[in-house]
Amino acid sequence: MIKPAIPSDEPFRLGTLRSLDLLDTPPEERFDRLTRMAKRMFGVSIALVSLVDENRQWFKSAQGLADKETPRDISFCGHAILGDGLLLVPDAKSDERFFDNPLVINPPYVRFYAGWPLRALNGSKLGTLCLLDPQPRAFADEDIQLMGDLVAIVEQEISTYQLATLDELTRLHNRRGFLALAQHALHLAVRKALPSSLVFFDLDKFKAINDNFGHAEGDKALVVFADQMRRSFRDADILSRLGGDEFVVLLFDCPHGLAQSIVDRLLAALERRNQFSSSGYAIACSYGIVPIALDAQKPIEALLSEADALMYQHKRGRKQQ
């Protein structure tokens, strides 16, 4: 048996999964309806919506299987989330990854497996829609297309959870989503001894933009700033609009010096934008960076307060220049 590898974006992926509050929730008809449909359409004995947690795969919906979870290191779905499309195993006993897997040699005696990664709105692979059967079987092109259609529906249902954690205007995480993601990422950082940094931003003279150009233009400025954050920060960084003109970023595996260089990159990009903009106003910001110690036990709210205080120091200093 070959254990599944860990995805390169694992902290971000797990943070996204935890922020949705899907794990360990009761069965829901909207997911059960889809697994019943999949089981019937493909004639398999088991159909699952499986979410791959840190050390387990947990089933949000299960047809034909009484278990609610299994260890991640024996899961087929742990392999499936490493790819971008369908993982097809026509006969597990003929596959070196699975031939001696406990799920193959013991109940439910899996021989056939088809699993398709389920993506969140931010691209994170949360788990799979998967089919299992004790008999080897083939999978036609029409079956692949049909399963892709079902996956799209499951992802649409999952998106309703994630939308509750996103800021409607900027599509960054809102405060609720950020707190859930960041706290989990901090636990991982401490456990793995990886330095991290928290950056708090506040737009300068934002009220003047609203007063002089209107709230629609103020909203546009917020979107421009959010888009520039996406371009400047790394894929694994957790970006959020906390509310109003306040933004925050948690930089995972990022010491203070590197965090400062990334912030400088953002500031330079904003300056270039301002030079060529015809909007009539500049988009600028004040910020505070808090390095997070490897033995940090502070809750994320306390770290936000520290970064907020540093941001105001920076803002006051710039006003006095």
Task: Catalogue the active-site residues.
Answer: 245
Q: Is 91 exposed, middle or buried (0-12, 13-18, 19+ CB in 10 A)?
A: middle
Q: Which helix (DSSP H) or strand (DSSP E) does residue 58 occupy?
A: strand 56-63
- State the Cα–Cα distance between residues 198 and 246, nearest whole angstrom: 13
38 CB-side CA count, 13 A: 35
Residues 6+ apart with CB under 8 A from 186: 196, 250, 292, 296, 300
Return the amino acid letter for 143. D
Question: Strands across the sheet with 46-52, in order?
Answer: 69-71, 56-63, 46-52, 125-133, 112-119, 87-89
Nearest to 226, CA basis, from 169, 281, 282, 278? 169
